[in-house]
């Protein structure tokens, strides 16, 4: 009985121990379950929080999508609206460039037209001045040519009717010779002046011995030189040759010699010489005449009409020096004048040395 009780006690003790162990296991299981439930709850909370964030993110994304769509629509509308403005801008820009080009062309044409108008105005003024000068010259020349002819007729009538003595006849014949020389010189001037107005005139050059041509021109003026008792010295190198137009040279130096005689008082001197340097040749005509004022020199250099009486009240047409300057220019030469009142005048015809040669 005791052993049974002991066994029973042992069994009971073992059962209690098992029960306690099971209770502990259950408690531990419950603890684990609680922990798991807490973990699950925490995970659920975190899941809910994450879901909420996802939903918030989706909502924000939806809003952003809506804003992007709206922005896209607005951008498209802006593009659609900007295209006409851009096209208009391009058209305006093109029109502006075209207008600038046209304005530039108009300004250039206006400037060219203005220059052309000024050139035409200057040309018209020059033509008007030339026409006035031509009218004046022709009037003077016609008078100066007609007067000697009328005077010649009167002298010839006196001689033919024997109304003058032989001494007077000789004196009248000398006057006729002097008038003839002046009229011939004036006529040559007139013809060459008219010839110079013709375009396309060809100049035929030849080798001219300057000493010989000056000698012949001095002989033409023999009567005038004797009347005023003027001495002329021809000191030109007798071998100097100028390749030029012969008749033009005669007109040039005939006028220069005539002017020197005209403005040199009785008993004066005229010296004609030549100089050749390394580049140029010069024909110098120096007189002991009354000289010229700076005002007269300026008029000559500016090709203005000048007419004045000589020391013995000689008359002139007034365009001899104008013609001389033109003819000298046509022969590629230049007229230089050095003069002072009361100290005489030196006329220098300057031409390139290659035009001047010496006879062998």
Q: Of the given ranges (29-43, 160-174, 181-195, 233-247), which has the lowest mean pLDDT?
A: 181-195
Chain centroid to CA 73: 63
pLDDT of 234 higher than 90: yes
The residue extents of the domains of the chain are 1-127, 206-358
DSSP E strands in the chain: the ranges are 206-209, 231-235, 240-244, 269-276, 280-287, 333-339, 345-352, 356-358
Phi, psi of 37 (to 5 degrees): -65, -40
> In whole angstroms, what is the distance from residue 264 CA to residue 258 CA?
10
**pTM for the whole thing?**
0.54
- Average pLDDT score over the chain: 78
Q: Where are the alpha helices (DSSP H) in 198-275?
A: 210-220, 222-228, 246-262
Helix axes 246-262, 210-220, angle to 10 degrees: 50
> In whole angstroms, what is the distance from residue 225 CA to residue 255 CA?
14
| pLDDT tens figures, 323-335 | 788 888 888 899 9
| pLDDT tens figures, 67-123 | 888 878 887 877 877 787 777 777 777 877 777 888 788 888 878 777 877 888 887
> In whole angstroms, what is the distance from residue 262 CA to residue 308 CA?
10
- Please check whether the domain covering 206-358 is classified as CATH 3.30.565.10: yes
Give me the mean pLDDT over the 189-203 stretch.
62
Most confident range (mean pLDDT) of 126-135, 178-187, 189-198, 246-255 is 246-255
Is 305:321 a contact under the CB 8 Å cutoff?
Answer: no
Confidence of residue 210 (pLDDT cuts 50, 70, 90): very high
71 DSSP 8-state letter: H
> In whole angstroms, what is the distance from residue 74 CA to residue 64 CA?
15
Tokens of 92: 């305006």
Tokens of 64: 């952003």
179: nearest Cα among 320, 323, 315, 287: 315
> In whole angstroms, what is the distance from residue 49 CA to residue 178 CA?
142
Confidence of residue 314 (pLDDT cuts 50, 70, 90): low
pLDDT of 236 higher than 90: yes
Confidence of residue 230 (pLDDT cuts 50, 70, 90): very high
Q: Could you tell me the CA-to-CA distances from 40 to 31, 34, 54 in Å, in that order? A: 14, 9, 20
pLDDT of 15 higher than 80: no
Tokens of 250: 């005669």
Q: Could you tell me the CA-to-CA distances from 184 to 95, 178, 181, 188, 269 in Å, in that order? A: 73, 10, 5, 6, 24
Burial class (CB in 10 A: 0-12, 13-18, 19+), 16: exposed
| pLDDT tens figures, 246-295 | 888 888 898 899 889 988 999 999 999 999 888 889 999 999 998 888 88
Order of strands across the sheet that contains 356-358: 206-209, 240-244, 356-358
Tokens of 285: 């005509």
């Amino acid at each position: 009985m005791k052993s049974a009780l002991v066994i029973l006690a042992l069994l009971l003790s073992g059962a209690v121990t098992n029960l306690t162990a099971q209770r502990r296991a259950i408690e531990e299981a419950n603890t684990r379950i609680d922990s798991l439930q807490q973990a699950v709850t925490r995970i659920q909370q975190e899941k809910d929080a994450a879901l909420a964030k996802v939903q918030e993110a989706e909502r924000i994304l939806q809003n952003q999508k809506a804003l992007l769509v709206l922005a896209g629509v607005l951008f498209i509308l802006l593009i659609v609206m900007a295209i006409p403005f851009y096209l208009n801008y391009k058209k305006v820009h093109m029109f502006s460039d075209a207008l600038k080009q046209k304005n530039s062309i108009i300004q250039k044409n206006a400037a060219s037209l203005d220059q052309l108008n000024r050139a035409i105005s200057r040309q018209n003024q020059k033509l008007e001045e030339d026409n006035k000068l031509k009218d004046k010259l022709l009037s003077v020349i016609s008078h100066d040519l007609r007067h000697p002819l009328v005077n010649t007729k009167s002298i010839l009538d006196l001689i033919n009717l024997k109304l003058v003595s032989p001494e007077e006849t000789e004196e009248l014949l000398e006057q006729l010779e002097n008038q003839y020389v002046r009229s011939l010189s004036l006529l040559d001037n007139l013809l060459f002046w008219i010839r110079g107005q013709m375009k396309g005139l060809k100049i035929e050059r030849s080798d001219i011995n300057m000493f010989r041509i000056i000698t012949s021109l001095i002989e033409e003026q023999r009567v005038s030189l004797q009347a005023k008792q003027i001495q002329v010295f021809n000191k030109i190198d007798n071998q100097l040759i100028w390749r030029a137009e012969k008749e033009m040279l005669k007109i040039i130096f005939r006028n220069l010699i005539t002017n020197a005689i005209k403005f040199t008082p009785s008993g004066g001197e005229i010296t004609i010489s030549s100089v050749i340097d390394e580049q140029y040749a010069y024909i110098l005509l120096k007189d002991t005449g009354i000289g010229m004022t700076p005002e007269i020199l300026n008029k000559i250099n500016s090709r203005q009409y000048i007419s004045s009486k000589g020391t013995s009240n000689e008359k002139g047409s007034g365009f001899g020096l104008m013609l001389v300057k033109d003819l000298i220019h046509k022969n590629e030469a230049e007229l230089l004048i050095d003069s002072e009142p009361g100290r005489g005048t030196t006329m220098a015809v300057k031409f390139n040395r290659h035009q001047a040669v010496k006879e062998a």
